[in-house]
Every structure is written in C-alpha cells, then in structure tokens.
Structure 1
C-alpha cells in the first residue's frame, strides 16, 4: 500500500502544479493497485473527463457498480458528462444506489454529547454497555431501558473506545485513550492509552495495561478477544496492532506496518490463525498471527472497503461498518477459507435516516446491535461538540442466518 499512497500524493502534487498529464499518469498507476478505491476512481474520472469523456464515463460506471452514490451536477469537472448518452446507464445505477436497504430497530437514544463508540452485551444481567468518547464513561442500558453509569467519568478514565465483554470470566475489556474529543481532559493526559480489564459485575477496574510513551502517534480504538484469551488492539492513528497474552503483564507490539495507515476494527479468523483488520484508507488486511505478515485482502470488482470502521466476526462471515463512503452502510462479507480474499460482499443496511457515522457493535442472537448514530459528525475540528447536536442512537439490525 505504500506505493499506492505515494502515487496518490504525487498525483495531488501534479494537480497543484498544473501538470495534468503527470497527474493522470500517477492516478492511473494508483488505480491499477487499488481498482475499487472510490476516491481514486473519482479523481481519475475528473482528470480524464475533458480529454477522454468516454473513459471518464466508464470510470464513473465502475464507481456506481460499487453501490455508491454521487451527484455529478455539483461537480465542475464531471457535470458535462451528464449530457452524454453513454452516461444514462450510470445515472440509473447511481439512482438505484439511493434505495434504502435493511431496517433498523431502536434500542437506545442518548441525549447530550456522549459521542458513543462501541457496544457490548452482558447476558447474565441482560444489559448493554455503551462506551463514550466525549462523556468518558461506560453506560449500562438495562432490559427495561433504564440507563445508569457502569463506570462513571474519572480522572484516569479518558475517552472510552472499543469494549468487549467475556461473560464466562465476568470480564469487560475496554480501551481508553486521551482523545481530543474527551470532555474536561487534563492536559497532562495527552498521549495516554491503556487497555482496561474490568469486573463485569462491579465495574471495578482490575488491571490497566498501558501503551508506551515513545513519541509515536497512538490512539487505541478497537479490540477483539481470541478464544485463547489473547486481546488484540488497533491503533487508529497508524498501522500498529498491540497484544495482551493470557496472564501477560504488559501490552506487546504484534505489528507495526506501513501498509496500514489507520487500523480500525479487527476480528480473529475462524481457524484462529490470522487477524482480519480494517484499514480506513485502504480496506481489509490479513495479519498472520504466526509470522505477523500483513497482506491486503483481495476484493471482488464490485466492492470497496475504503472507510471501513467496525469489524465483527459472525461465524464464517464478517460484519463490517463502513462510514467513510457515501452512503454509509453495513456489509456482510464472505471470506475465503485462507482469509486472503472476499468472495462476496452484501450490503445489509444503507440509506437509512439513523445511519450517521455508525461505528461498532455486538451480535446478540441474530441481531447486530451497534452505534448507528455516533455523533462523530457533530464534533468540530477543535474536538468539541457543535451546538444543537442530535442524540446518539444505538440500533438493532436483523442478520439472516
């Protein structure tokens, strides 16, 4: 992926310096490396539209085949293509891509500015646990809908990101990081990250495993737990995967890869041999847990996983929340036995009013319960909430067997 990122940068530089020919060359080379990248497809179409309109229309056809939407009438470079006869099928496909898919059932609405991130389920007490990035706490929602603090805001609890419950051991694993969006965060906490082991019955923090202060940009955001008890955590500000082995006293680094720009959700493969990790700018990767080799997962020609965030294994498939494309959506992926390619991608939720920066969730029976509206879009570049933000929402999506 390093070559891909480099070519995109070189194309952007060529555009700024007015070298359209070089920009087209570089973006075409980038597209050859990632043929289903939405942003690169659109960039290539814009750079090609005037010189070769038919080729630009074909690029837009490839974009539309990914199930994405686009209004080219507001795009100065692309809008002239709307008058072409060969654009009519593309327009039809783009319109069809706006059709609502799936149905969400409401679970919880969180007022104020919690900035919800992840959901776990405690079957013993029949309650959901919801982590908060701005609110800096973990909320419990009982079976009767009653909300209470499972872990209240505290000085040593920063933004709470990924959470995973282990009901048998009565453990809740949680990642806490000193994010810019955290409310009332002490300046001395900047750069802090930790994995917490929490008593699922009492909410007491039983152990804290910190990430090193070594100058690297780091925000531990997503985690998963393997069947052997190993906890894996991803760094959303880079290509790191950290690990806590059973009985371990410290986090150790499994992978630091330049092939991954922003590690997000992750899940252990069914056979336990690999991690499947979403990279926000480039899609899905497979990490061999024996060799730590990082390999991009091959995709069908009609699927893009750019902007993938939450990842959850459901038997032999993956549930993926993709909030970095339009429309934002939830996918179900079938993966080859060796974990090296997606054999089928199915959109199971899209174009629904309550899908707004969706993030992570948990399977409860055959329902995916997840943060459908997180409030990330309601926070400004200064990390603080804008006025008049709507509630965060947790929703349920039925997953077919």
Structure 2
C-alpha cells in the first residue's frame, strides 16, 4: 500500500522502547540534520546525511538530500557527483528538472550540471514492454491489489473507493465478488486456492472521507469463501494500523504489513501476532522465498530486506547501484524479483535477477516506466506471466482520498508481461 514518505514521518510514535526502532533512528537523523541546518553547521549536516544514506541503503532520496548539503557547503564537485549517482540508477529528480528546488540554483553555471539534467531527461523516457490484458471500465474503483483464481482463470481485484472486490476475466467480463463488511477501503488480497479461501484487508485510512470518521485508524483482516464470496471471518487489527499488504505462508497463514506503523503481523488462529523486528519503517507487500522460512520485505524508505521468520533477523539487499526504495509490490519468480515502484521518479515496474542465495542482484531490466504519474501498485505471477495494475489512480487523490481539483480518475489497466 502506497504511503507518502512525509506521512510516514508525521505518524512516527513518540514513545521509544529501550532498543530504538528503525523509525526512531530515522527520526533522530532527520532531527540532527534540521539542527545542523539551523546552526549553519554544514560539516555536521553532510556527515549526518551520509549516515542517513547508509541507513536507507543507498536511497536516491537520501542521495538528493546529501547533494543538497554539498551545495550548501559550497562543494559543487561533490554535489554534481552525488546527483550523477541518482542518474546512474536510471532515475531523475523532478524538482531539479523543473527548477523548483532553488537550493541547486548555484549549480546552474557549473559545467557538468547541465549534463546531469540531460541524463535525468533521458532516464524519464517511456518504456513499455508489457501489453494491456484487461481494461476496467469503472474509473471510480481506484484499484489496489490483485490475485489470480486458477479455478476460474479470473482475477480478484480490490477497490479502495468503492469498498469491494471485483472479479475480472481476460474476456473483459467484470462482476462484483464481495464487499467490505464495514464500507472501508479494501486494500490487500491473497488467494489460498487449495483451501478455497480469499484473504483481504479493509482499512479505514486515517483522514479518508470515504471511510467513516469514527473508524479512522482501524484495520481488519477478512476471510471469504472463494467460490461464493461469503464472508467467513473478520479479525480486527491492532489500533492505529494500516494493514495494507499481505503474503501467505505455505500453510495459508497471512503475514500482513502495516506500512503506517512499521510492523509486520502474522495471523495465527484469530490472533495477529507481531513479528518482533525493529528494522522496518514502512513495510509493503512481501514475497515468500522457496521453503517459506524467509520473506523478502520491501520497505518504502529503506529498500528490500530478507527477513528470517525463525530468527526474525533481517539482511538487506545492496541498493547502492539500483534503487530499491519506493516499492509497493514485490514478487519472486525463480530468481527473478519483480518490483512495482511508485515512490521513484520515474515510477516503474522493474525486473531484477538474483544470485542463488537470493541476497545479491546480478542484473536489472525495466519492464514499464512513464514520466506521467501512473501509480503502478500490485501484481501477480501466473505461471510464467506477470500481470500488474499499471495505473491505479492514487496520484489523482489528495490526502483525504478525494479527487484533486482539475483531476479525474481514469479506467485502470491490467498489463501483462511474459517472464520467459
């Protein structure tokens, strides 16, 4: 589930346990950077920005902040070199390209700065290796997550604004599967076909006008009968959570990500038990590894972590060469790791190749990207094919979930890409 980085920072809890969480470490670094800026201490600012860059595992956002610090210190050479590292990742910095970030105005006369901007423009060029599989005719859905029903060869797709799950076929036929019992936005969905179950979440997103105000900040895990759409179970989530993403264990147990609170939960019986890891700031859709003893967890700010479910230890993929932040959906097919990134510029769908240990990236390929804000969200691997929601519509909404003035929702497209 996409959550803006600014919103993540705004909701970080104030009470600290004895061991600081990743969120608290992140907020501490942000506070020290603000203090250094206020004091005009450029060297402390640069040192803390470098610390933040390591903590966020090479995030392009952290690189941009470091480049800004170099400019403030009058170090144009290192500023340009740092911006080139963003360009090396195939990304761009929108505020530099449109001139709105005045912090970089002093670089206008630097001989290499124009070259950086040109690299950014080249990186914004459209790539589309997929083909449209389904166009959803109702533009008001705001689609979020998708999974595949092998028994009917159809897709189940969640709707944020219409609070329901729809069933869509490759023949274009679209029907309602079921609705949110509480009329809340529906986000995550995963099918457990062998057990005839559909797991989904409903989340009363804080501040959303499409959710009742008295319910804001609540989440629930839902279980439906796959054939009939009947609601079988509803498990209330912990207070102040946004259980927006999910993966199933080999036994069909949901593991849920709270992108707002920074935690992961495992549903055992009727109990949502927290996975005791302090490594995540905003976990998104995990991917199960072969054997089921570990999951790959994309963190919207920190990149991609490999979480051992037994030891609850986390190791991180190297994001210094390939940007791994801003990932909403993550899917593993053999050694191919497919990312839907709506927190990068440009937004994109990316295919990575991993080594046998699934801990090192050996190659990368862009499947889909556009300079337009299309907001790809989630996808599903079906055999050797990847289907993904290419244009969810999140970018057309304001912070309250209302369509921005002058904007309009468009029909979502489900795209198809062959993984062969």
Give the TM-score, by structure 1 length: 0.89
**Residue 340 of structure 2 corresponds to residue 321 of structure 1:** yes
The more displaced of 191-200 and 31-40 is: 31-40
* Contact residue 366 and residue 400 of structure 1 kept, 8 A: yes
Counterpart residue number, 1:69: 92
**Residue 306 of structure 2 corresponds to residue 286 of structure 1:** yes
**Residue 109 of structure 2 corresponds to residue 86 of structure 1:** no
* Contact residue 139 and residue 150 of structure 1 kept, 8 A: yes
**Residue 354 of structure 2 corresponds to residue 335 of structure 1:** yes
Counterpart residue number, 2:292: 272
Counterpart residue number, 1:57: 80
**Residue 244 of structure 2 corresponds to residue 221 of structure 1:** yes
Partners in 2 of 1:78 and 1:188 — Cα distance? 44
Counterpart residue number, 1:137: 164
Secondary structure of the equivalent of 2:290? coil
Q: After the TM superposition, which residues 291-310 of structure 1 pair with which residues of structure 2 at under 5 Å, given as runs?
A: 291-299=311-319, 301-310=320-329
Report the CA distance shift for 1:342/1:171 in structure 2 as closer, same or farther (over 3 A): same
Secondary structure of the equivalent of 2:102? coil
Secondary structure of the equivalent of 2:307? strand
Residue by residue, what CA displacement relative to the aligned partner does 1:353-396 show, whole Å, maximum 9, x if unpaired?
5x612111112343322221112112212232335412241321
Partners in 1 of 2:326 and 2:25 — Cα distance? 19
Partners in 1 of 2:56 and 2:233 — Cα distance? 42
Q: After the TM superposition, which residues 207-286 of structure 1 pair with which residues of structure 2 at under 5 Å, given as runs?
A: 207-213=233-239, 217-245=240-268, 248-257=269-278, 259-286=279-306
Partners in 2 of 1:223 and 1:236 — Cα distance? 11
Q: How many equivalent residue pairs?
A: 392
How far has the Cα of 1:17 moved from its partner? Answer: 4.7
Report the CA distance shift for 1:182/1:136 in structure 2 as closer, same or farther (over 3 A): farther
* Contact residue 136 and residue 182 of structure 1 kept, 8 A: no
How far has the Cα of 1:121 moved from its partner? Answer: 1.5
Partners in 1 of 2:252 and 2:309 — Cα distance? 14
* Contact residue 277 and residue 312 of structure 2 kept, 8 A: no
**Residue 400 of structure 2 corresponds to residue 382 of structure 1:** yes
Report the CA distance shift for 1:128/1:17 in structure 2 as closer, same or farther (over 3 A): same
The more displaced of 21-30 and 50-59 is: 21-30
* Contact residue 204 and residue 212 of structure 2 kept, 8 A: no
Secondary structure of the equivalent of 1:7? helix
Counterpart residue number, 2:198: 172
Partners in 2 of 1:275 and 1:79 — Cα distance? 44
Match of 2:364 among 345, 354, 362: 345
Secondary structure of the equivalent of 2:90? coil
The more displaced of 328-337 and 58-67 is: 328-337
Report the CA distance shift for 1:180/1:146 in structure 2 as closer, same or farther (over 3 A): farther
Q: CA RMSD in A?
A: 2.4
How far has the Cα of 1:294 moved from its partner? Answer: 2.6
Residue by residue, what CA displacement relative to the aligned partner does 1:313-349 show, whole Å, maximum 9, x if unpaired?
2222221111111000111223344444433333221
Partners in 2 of 1:100 and 1:359 — Cα distance? 18
The more displaced of 301-310 and 67-76 is: 67-76
Structure 2 gaps, min length 5: 1-21
Partners in 1 of 2:104 and 2:139 — Cα distance? 40
Report the CA distance shift for 1:91/1:153 in structure 2 as closer, same or farther (over 3 A): closer
How far has the Cα of 1:157 moved from its partner? Answer: 4.5
How far has the Cα of 1:95 moved from its partner? Answer: 3.0
Partners in 2 of 1:191 and 1:34 — Cα distance? 27
* Contact residue 134 and residue 181 of structure 1 kept, 8 A: no
